[in-house]
Amino acid sequence: MTAFLEAINLRKTFLDPTRSTLLALDGLSLLVAEGEFLAIVGPSGCGKSTLLRLLAGLERPISGQVRLRGQPLTAPRREIGFVFQRANLMPWRTVLDNIALPLIVSRSGQTRQAQAKAREWVTLVGLEGFAHAYPAQLSGGMQQRVALARALIHEPTLLLLDEPFGALDALTRERMNSELLNIWDRRRVTVVMVTHSISEALFLADRVLVMAPRPGRVRAEFAVPLARPRDRALITEPEFVQLVRAVRAEISDV
């Protein structure tokens, strides 16, 4: 595999409340190909979110290196989009203004162009009629659509997703999965997604990595040989069910 994104022997520590050193990641390595959709699963506390922050350049490892397009990544870059577990929208800004914010911040004096681009994304994420609504007027799923559009409006080459649909009800989460796949099919941005849902990981991804308990490292890797485009009927197919069982066995056997 030619690496678009590469983590090389990452080691990361934190101080716990007693000021003791906590080893979060130890010798973790991975490769992500350009245009690939990679999902990462594992037990709670295994360092999945920590890994994602390192891949975003938001934090630095104690040792090891992250490389993007072959170059060391030591700080956040504009070509990286990040969607957190919560939408984190600005409550005083409308849907349109929240989506446009990255362009407004980075392109001073071009607010009109930024809002025109934001209107395109309002349509892409299915929020027609809500462009001038405020976050408090939106459901949780709609807020996450705004967050997704905001992360993608500046056309990043890498999109990092940290359990973005974990707080949603089951039906809304399924709709958001399908929405995410539709956007990915159109844009083919490279995606790394952390999730606690095995079925979500397998439904969305080309490949799934299973992390071991802390200190985090890659325990197993599963290719997802399921044809695209995908729809929800896939989750009842024997091949899908077998993959779910195999991934669950790796997570349970710790």
Give me the mean pLDDT over the 109-114 stretch. Answer: 71
pLDDT tens readout for residues 46-104: 889 999 999 999 999 999 999 999 999 989 898 999 998 888 899 999 999 999 988 88
* Under 8 Å between Cβ of 44 and 24: no
Burial class (CB in 10 A: 0-12, 13-18, 19+), 249: exposed
Residue 200, domain member (yes or no): yes
Three-class secondary structure of residue 13 per DSSP: strand
Of 159, 145, 249, 247, the residue nearest 202 (C-alpha): 247
Token pair 């802390």 is at which residue? 214
CATH number at residue 238: 3.40.50.300
Q: Print the domain residue range for 206.
A: 1-79+190-254
Residue 75, domain member (yes or no): yes
pLDDT tens readout for residues 49-65: 999 999 999 999 999 99
Residue 209, domain member (yes or no): yes
Total domains in the fold of the chain? 1
Residue 41, domain member (yes or no): yes
Which of 116 and 134 is assigned the larger pLDDT? 134
* Under 8 Å between Cβ of 192 and 160: yes
Which of 202 and 114 is assigned the larger pLDDT? 202
Collect all residues with Cβ–Cβ distance below 8 Å to 111 and sequence separation of at least 6: 100, 104
Residue 169, domain member (yes or no): no
pLDDT tens readout for residues 153-163: 988 999 999 99
pLDDT tens readout for residues 162-189: 998 887 888 888 888 888 898 888 888 9
Neighbours of 189 (CB within 10 A): 19
pLDDT band at 19 (very low <50, low <70, confident <90, very high): low
> Is pLDDT of 44 > 90?
no
Collect all residues with Cβ–Cβ distance below 8 Å to 51 and sequence separation of at least 6: 7, 10, 25, 28, 40, 194, 211, 216
DSSP structure class, residue 133: -
Residue 16, domain member (yes or no): yes
Residue 123, domain member (yes or no): no
Three-class secondary structure of residue 229 per DSSP: coil
Q: Provide the CB-side half-sphere exposure for 183 (13 A, CA).
A: 24
Residue 49, domain member (yes or no): yes
